[in-house]
Copies of this chain bind each other. A is one copy, B any other.
Amino acid sequence: MKLALVQFNPTIGDVSGNTARMLAAVTRAESAGADLAVFPELAVVGYPPRDLLWRKELIEAVERALWEKFAPSSKKMGILIGAPVKGDNCLHNAALLFYGGMLVGRQEKTLLPNYDVFDETRYFQPAEDLYPSRFQGEAIGLTVCEDIWNDKDYWNRRIYDIDPVEELVAEGASILVNISASPYHFGKRRLRAQMLSHTARKHSRLLVYVNQVGANDELIFDGSSMVIDELGQVIWEGRAFEEDFAVIDVGAPRTGRESKAVNEDVSCVHAALVLGIRDYLRKTGFKRAVVGLSGGIDSSVAAALAAAALGPENVLGVGMPSRYSSPDSLRDAEALSVNLGIGWRVVPIDQVFQSYLVSLCENGKPKLDIAEENVQARIRGNILMFISNREGFLLLSTGNKSELAVGYCTLYGDMSGGLSVLADVPKLMVYELASYINRKREVIPSGVFTKPPSAELRPDQRDEDSLPPYQVLDPILKAYIEEGLSAGEIAGRGFNSDLVAKIISKVDAAEYKRRQAPPGLKVTTKAFGMGRRLPVAWSPGW
């Protein structure tokens, strides 16, 4: 049996556009002699469609696409797609197998994730039955994404009672096919490759895994689809972070190997962020982005990522020096722009700042408090949004996860933007990305690496005035935010317990800022945003 694996990048909600592109892949598969074309989970609507699933127009459009487009296109070749389908007064997240112009197999998703960024029980009811679908002499054990996951790290409540894969094998599945929309985080590609290899080997079944690719708001889907043989060896591996298409004869003689994904490094995070920026702009109808360049590491990395995503000709860097900026900073920002080949513009903020001081302070004299620091950051936000509004650039926000965690950022100031590029990248990982960006030549000037991190909002300010060194801060933040450890558990790792308490309190207190932050690209196991839902007005009474 020849399978066409279509690692597809859908646009959320765009049923007609997605269908047209999927049917083009069907035609291509047919020309290549495939027996069955396989698409990802919910491919027709894109994942995650969120509350759009409650729109009648969407579900009606899906039904038209299924019966008027996909079914008729399956006359000579099988088509396996993910789509939301109506059940008994509910919706299911289903895998549908069309062949001969008809629906010949249907398997609803059994395990509905409802933790972290996932809300599937908000929309779907689980499958009531599991049985293999007959196709071309094979009994295909169809599963949808979560159905194949047994990794305990993913369950924050009881592990599901059912293992759909095991049941399908018991029901006689001769081959396993999983269609997915499995979002990326650093380490996920490796984890997934190991888990899938384990599953294929355990059940001695060929395993076909087709994952969505592309970014939708915060979530980045890496693709990395796979065909794994009965011994757990990889026969075929799709590209990471881009669309892919392959026709694989699963019955042909073959030699497997280990997955390339087991060597995951920071280059994956780089590729993920580039895709995240590119798709966010494309899917919101923007071509060009503007970035405020401070000469610091965060904005430098963000600009380099934007240039890689959009082409340097579509990126504008803006330097906005104040009375507190070091001349080095402006020089480094300009050098970065030249190295990247992006646009460069300087808009000094001091005159505007002075006019605020005149309006707001006695005799126009600054007091050098947090209020004035924030005014400067907000002047910069206002200037960047002006450029965005007048010239049609999307503003990218450049703050990192460590800052956002402890609230070392200004709401409506440097937090402004349509997309927050580094919102889920801890400061130390920002440096790793910077080194990766400079792997072939110096793109980010060396001065950017060596200068002590500073917001430059008052004379001689440094991050370390109010924060511990990032070598200490980042592991504490990871333990608290990603691992969900308590203050006591974190101190048990050897950190000063007063410091831990102080940092946790800063993180909790900054929730109000994060509530108003732009969407941030998720690249760790726990990002701020849709997957971390906390009250603003609360008090830790323990």
Contacts and interface: CB of A to CB of B under 8 A. Distances in A.
Interface of A: 11-19, 46, 48-52, 54-58, 60-61, 88-91, 114-115, 119, 121-123, 125, 156-159, 216-217, 279-280, 283-284, 347-349, 351-352, 354-356, 358-360, 367, 369-372, 374-375, 378-379, 381-383, 385-387, 389-390, 411-412, 416, 418, 484, 486-487, 512, 515-519, 530, 532-542
A458 to B, nearest CB: 14
Contact of A537 (B56, B283, B538, B540): B283
A385 B381 CA distance: 13
A494 B360 CA distance: 51
A487 B61 CA distance: 14
9 cross-chain pairs, A with B, having the tightest CB-CB distances, nearest first: A14-B541, A61-B542, A283-B537, A12-B538, A371-B389, A371-B390, A412-B412, A355-B355, A16-B541
B540 A14 contact: yes
Residue from A89, A157, A367, A538 whose CB has the most chain B CB atoms within 10 Å: A538
Nearest to A390: B371
A344 B387 CA distance: 34
Contacts of A49: 535, 538
B389 A412 contact: no
Contacts of A348: 359
B347 A351 contact: no
A18 B542 CA distance: 11
B158 A216 contact: no
B370 A359 contact: no
Nearest to A15: B541
A385 B378 contact: yes
* Most chain B CB neighbours (cut-off 10 Å) among A49, A352, A515, A532: A352
Given A371-B390, A412-B412, A517-B516, A12 B539 contact: yes
A50 B121 CA distance: 16
A348 B486 CA distance: 49
A13 B535 contact: yes
Nearest to A535: B12
A372 B385 CA distance: 10
Given A52-B534, A355-B355, 20 more contacts: A12-B537, A16-B542, A17-B541, A49-B535, A57-B486, A61-B541, A89-B158, A90-B158, A119-B122, A216-B537, A216-B538, A283-B538, A347-B360, A351-B355, A352-B355, A356-B383, A360-B383, A370-B389, A519-B536, A530-B533
25 contacts: A11-B537, A12-B538, A13-B539, A14-B540, A17-B539, A49-B538, A89-B157, A90-B158, A125-B158, A283-B537, A284-B536, A351-B358, A352-B352, A356-B383, A359-B383, A370-B389, A371-B389, A371-B390, A372-B386, A374-B389, A375-B382, A411-B416, A412-B412, A418-B512, A515-B518
Contacts of A372: 386
A55 B156 CA distance: 11
A352 B119 CA distance: 46
Contacts of A515: 518-519
Contacts of A359: 347-349, 351-352, 383
Nearest to A352: B355
Contacts of A538: 11-14, 46, 49, 52, 216, 283
Contacts of A56: 486
Nearest to A58: B542
